[in-house]
Structures are given as C-alpha cells and as structure tokens.
Amino acid sequence: MTGISLWLYVFFAGAVAMAILWRAWRILRACRSGKETPAAHPRPPFGDRCGTDLRTFFQKRWAAVFHMVLVVSFLGMCVDALWYPLGAGGEAYRIFSAGNAALAAAAIAAAAGLLARRVRPIARYRSLSPAQRRDGFAVLILEMVSAATLLAVYAGWQQGVWWHYGILLVFALYITFSKHLHIFLAPVYLAVFGRRETFSPDDMPEVTHELDVLEGRAPASETPPERMGACWASDFTRGRLLSAFSCTECGRCESVCPVVAASDVPFSPRKVVADVRRAAMGKAEGALYGKAITRDEAFACISCGACLEACPIAISPMDLLLQVRRYAVLEQGELPPEEARVAESIVATGNPWAMETAGEEGSEERIPLADPEHPTEYLLWRGSMGIHDPQGRAVVRATARMLDAAGVSWSALPSEEECDVADLLRYQGDEWTFLTAARRNIECLHRYGVRKIITPCPHSLSVLRDQYPSLGGRFTVQHLSEFVLQALRDGGLELPRTLEGQTVVYHDPCRLSRAHIVEAPREVLRALGARVVEAPQAGRGSMCCGGSGYFREGEVPAAIAARRMEQLASTGAQRVITACPYCYQMLSVLSGEKALPVSDLTQWLRV
C-alpha cells in the first residue's frame, strides 16, 4: 500500500481511533463521577480468583469458547490492519497471517453458531428488547463479514483490502459505541474490583458516623451528610459504575433469579444493570430511583445472591439494587410496613417478633448460659429462629446435644442478650437497624470474652463471620455442619446411621452456599448413611427457597418456595434435608402431591 491510498487509510483509521478515545474518555468520566470505592473488602488470592473467574466464564462451555474465538480473531484482524499497510512481508508476517486466517475461519463458524441461538432464542435471550436483539445480530454479522473479507484478501483478492479495512473500522466503531465494549472493560473490572472473599454488602461509613454522633462517640459534622444510597448514577461507587459498563447482557443473572422464575413481578436484574449504565452516560431522564428503577423493582429483589454467583463478570445486580433501596429507606423512609415493624421490634428488644411472641421464649432447652467471668471454648449462637420459634428451638436442642456429645465446653448467651443480626433488614436497605444490632452484639460478645462461635443458622453465620470483622467484631465462626464434620474427622464424634438406605436431596441454604459451605453438610449426610442426590441449581449458586425474603409481605416468597420444591422433588429423592431454620420453615409448610417431607440436618444427628 503506497501513496495516497496509505494516507487515506491513515486518515480514516486515525478518525476511528479519535472516536474510540473520545468514547473511552466519556466512560472514564462517567465512572469517575461516582463515589470513592470504600475500604477494600478482602479479595481471594489472585490464583483462586482467576480460577473462579474461569470456572464461571466456562459454565456455558461452548458459548464461552465461541466468544473467546470472536475476541481473539477481532484482535488478530486489528493487528493485521496495522501491520499490513506498514509493509507486510517476511517470514514473521507469513506465519502470523496463516494463524490469523485459521482464526478468521473459526470466527465465522463461531459467529454462525451464536447467530443460530439468536434466530431461535434460548430462554434468557427472550426477554431482550428489540434493540438489544438487533445489537446482538449486528455485531455477529460484522464479525463474520470482516473475517470473510480478510480470508478473501489472504486468498489473493487485492482490491478487497479496502472493503476489509472499511468494514473493520465500522466494526471497531460499533464495538466502541455499543454495549460490546465490555470486551475490553470486563477484564479491567475483574482485575481491579471483581470478586470478593466474602458475600457481604458495602459498609456505610455515613451511617456509622450518624450513629456515633447519636451515641456521643463523635462530634456532629459541620458539612451536610452525603446522600445515603443511590438515587442518581453518581451516587454509586466507581467500581459499581464500571461493573455496569462491563455487563455483557448475557442474562445469566436473570435465568437464575428466583423472583423472575417464580413471580409475575416485572423485574429483571439485567435491566437494572443496563439502567445504571444508561444513567451514568446521561441517557436516563431524571433520577434513577422512581423513573428507570421503580419502587416495585427496587424492592422485588430478595437479595439471595444467585445473580452474583452466575455472572461471568462478577457483577452484582443485587448490590446495585441495594444502594437504591438504601436511598429509598434511609432518605425517603420507604421501608415496607411489615419490615418497619420488624426493625422497630429488633431495636427495642433484639427480637424481630417481640410484638407477637412476647413472653413465649422458652427456657425449656436447658441451655447452659454464658458467664462473662468464665468463658467457655465455644459459644452457641442460636439465632432468632433458635430462640423464638418452636421449629428453630428444636434445631437448637439438637445442636446442644451434638456439642455435648463432642465433649466441648460451650454455652449460649441469655436470650435477652442475643440480638437478631438483622441481615434481612440490611439487605432491604435498613443499614441503621443492622448497625444498631451489630454494635449491640459485638459489644456483648466482647463482654462475654467470646472467641469461637458455632451456629446452626446460616444468616447468623454470614453476618458474624463475614460482616462483623469490618465493624470490629472478629471471631472464629463455624456452621454446625462444619463443626460436626471436623469432629468426625478428628475421631471425637460418632454418628448413628439414621439415614441408612435413604435417598435425600440437600437444599443449599443460600446464605450457606454464598459463604462457600456446600460440602460439609453433604459429607455429614453421607456419614449418616444417606445417598445424596443433587437438585438443579445446587451448590454455590443455589436457588433460594424464598427465606431471604422472609419478612416480605405478599405472595412472592411462598411462590419461590413452591418453585424450589418442584426442583427438589424432580430428583426423585425421598426427602429434602436442609441446614437452615428459615429454609426448614419455608419448605416444610408446603403441602400437596409434589411436596417432599422436609427436615433440618440437626434432626438426624441423634447422638
């Protein structure tokens, strides 16, 4: 390529490069308009993180391979477009172009495969808007045509080089100005923010400060407090904004969402991410909350976390919605009435059901109570269900027998000292009640000299183990199933084979599976003699039973429980066993032909 043609090429390529830089600058500016990302949550070691990212990316193996081929082929064509005009030739270019031709051929096949999925859309593509569908078609067709013209040029069609470059420049522009920019932004997001060690929401230093002022621990600040939560795109942190730009719109979040699966509520986690992205680019009219994201959408999510586990880019629609709910609750006072009653009850008494169950707490468990002067090795954290609910109390009694059988020294807090951890309210946006409860509990645990905690309640485990450390409460916390498994392995415990010959399906409580405790309960079930079969959506990305929306009004939590029971029953198991008092209650109240008998793991630990 010489003379005027080279200059023309340089001119157009330069123009495209300028447009790309302009777009990159606008996105950078949009992300920088967000708040500072608060103190980093612990992240898994680099190797583990990469392993998890790759495993999640390759969950849909062929789709992942096809997408990889498309990206690498596009990059190959870009390199060729720089190399060829500047004087291709020599052995190096010959080897490169041979590899590039193979990639281009593979890209045509991959694009055709992905197009087929869009012509007869798979379930998670069906809810895409017409514009999003056109977008999917356009990018695949552009990739196919770019690759085909490159192959034609390599085959000797010299005049075709202009067609190829023209199409490639249009393709590059299209990628830059469409959501396909995630190709470049997603790796940046994963590297800088990405996955966290624990399932835990961002803390709210502004609420901490307000509480400090109220309790006389800090002087009132002279500057007006920042807006709490997110009403506008700029209220999100920079990391969350970048996550919205990194979304591939693959819809995996939507396909695992229990609210989408089991209810008629118009709700889509994928749409929420797109709404935040549009708002960040100034394309949304007015405030985000109340317009693009309605109140019903904001409160539809039950914070089960399945979307985060499913997302190949580790984006959390749940956390975006949580920020919106925080604004609705803390700035607008819109906590739904049922939860507002629960919050009032927790702040006043530590018991979420104080208004209904006053005086019903049982002392019949014969639980040894903790003495601050004589701390025991373990503290049994009963959880509100374990103190105030008859089914939960049965779980605690079985746990107590287990601890006795293991021969460890243990005790429990007096019920009036153990405050509900208020995690369900935290996920609803009520950080105030959560923090009030957290301070009370951490102070109490320190006063009693507690170091090691065992709990049969996954909600308590998630808060005590993963959410209290950043608030000053560091304890060694185990779920009962972990403790039992460890005692079995150490030889300190023998279990009767109470489930010998039975086929059971284990329902992963979502708080336990998000805390990555999935193997211990299964191992204990096997030690009891059970044959454990797996339901759809089991393990770390398990489907919620509706218990994460336990205090919600309306039909949605029960509809989710029924849907989950269908999945569990489809395994042909004789019974469902779970390891959470909330799941136990949500699933065990179901009746009908398809409902299997449900029990808690502790009921089979008859030591």
DSSP-assigned beta bridge partners for residue 293:
289
Shortest distance in whole angstroms from residue 336 CB to ligand SF4: 16
Q: Under the criterion CB under 6 A, does residue 259 sit at the interface with ligand SF4?
A: yes
Beta carbon of residue 38, minimum distance to ligand SF4 (angstroms, whole number): 20
598 part of the interface to ligand SF4, by CB under 6 A: no
Instruction: Indicate whether 302 belongs to the interface with ligand SF4 (CB under 6 A).
Output: yes
Pairing of strands 476-479, 503-506: unpaired
Copy the structure tokens of residue 145.
Answer: 């045509």
Does the protein bind ligand SF4 through residue 136 (CB under 6 A)? Answer: no
Strands (E), 266-362: none
Q: Of the two residues 60 and 401, which places its CB atom closer to ligand SF4 in the complex?
A: 60
CA distance 459 to 385: 10
Nearer to ligand SF4, 172 or 556 (CB): 556
- Residue 320 in the binding site for ligand SF4 (CB under 6 A): no
Q: Tell me the closest approach of the beta carbon of residue 112 to ligand SF4, in angstroms.
A: 22
The answer to whether 541 contacts ligand SF4 (rule: CB under 6 A) is: no
Find the shortest distance in angstroms from Cβ 424 to ligand SF4: 13
Among 76, 194, 229, 305, binds ligand SF4 (CB under 6 A): 305
Comparison of 253 and 419: residue with beta carbon closer to ligand SF4: 253
**Residue 317 interacting with ligand SF4 (CB under 6 A):** yes
Q: Closest separation between CB of residue 321 and ligand SF4, Å?
A: 7
Q: Which is nearer to ligand SF4, 130 or 216 (CB)?
A: 130
Rule CB under 6 A: is residue 560 a binding residue for ligand SF4? no
Q: Tokens for 488?
A: 């079995």
Residue closer to ligand SF4 (CB basis): 201 or 269? 269
Q: Would you count residue 269 as binding ligand SF4 (CB under 6 A)?
A: yes
**Could you give the 3-state DSSP secondary structure of residue 230?**
coil
Please give the residues from 218 up to 257 whose contact with ligand SF4 meets the rule CB under 6 A. 247-253, 256-257
Contact 104, 149 (CB under 8 A): no
Closer of 97 and 263 to ligand SF4 (Cβ): 263
Distances (CA, A) of 588 to 353, 545, 583, 600: 20, 11, 8, 10
At 590, list the tokens: 């179901």
By CB under 6 A, tell whether 315 contacts ligand SF4.
yes
Quick one: how far is CA 22 from the chain centroid? 32
Radius of gyration of the chain, Cα coordinates, nearest whole angstrom = 28
What are the backbone dihedrals phi and psi of residue 470, each rounded to the nearest 5 degrees, phi first? Answer: -75, -10
CB of 85 to ligand SF4, least distance (A): 36
- What binding mask, one character per residue, do residues 387-416 give for ligand SF4 by CB under 6 A, x or -? ------------------------------
CB of 316 to ligand SF4, least distance (A): 8
* CA dihedral of 433, 420, 423, 544, whole degrees rounded to 10: -150
Q: Is residue 140 involved in binding ligand SF4 (CB under 6 A)? A: no
Dist. CA 562–CA 360, nearest whole Å: 30
Report the sign of the C-alpha dihedral through residues 28, 31, 33, 38, in that order.
negative
Provide the 10 A C-beta neighbour count for residue 583. 29
* d(C-alpha 512, C-alpha 510), whole Å: 5
Residue 551 CB partners (closer than 8 Å, separation 6+) = 338, 339, 342, 352, 424, 425, 428
366: left (phi over 0), alpha (psi -120 to 50) or beta: left
Determine, following the binding rule CB under 6 A, whether residue 311 of this chain makes contact with ligand SF4.
yes
When binding is defined by CB under 6 A, the residue of 140, 151, 318, 535 that contacts ligand SF4 is 318
Which residues of the shown chain bind ligand SF4 in the complex (CB under 6 A)? 247-253, 256-259, 269-270, 273, 301-307, 310-313, 315, 317-318
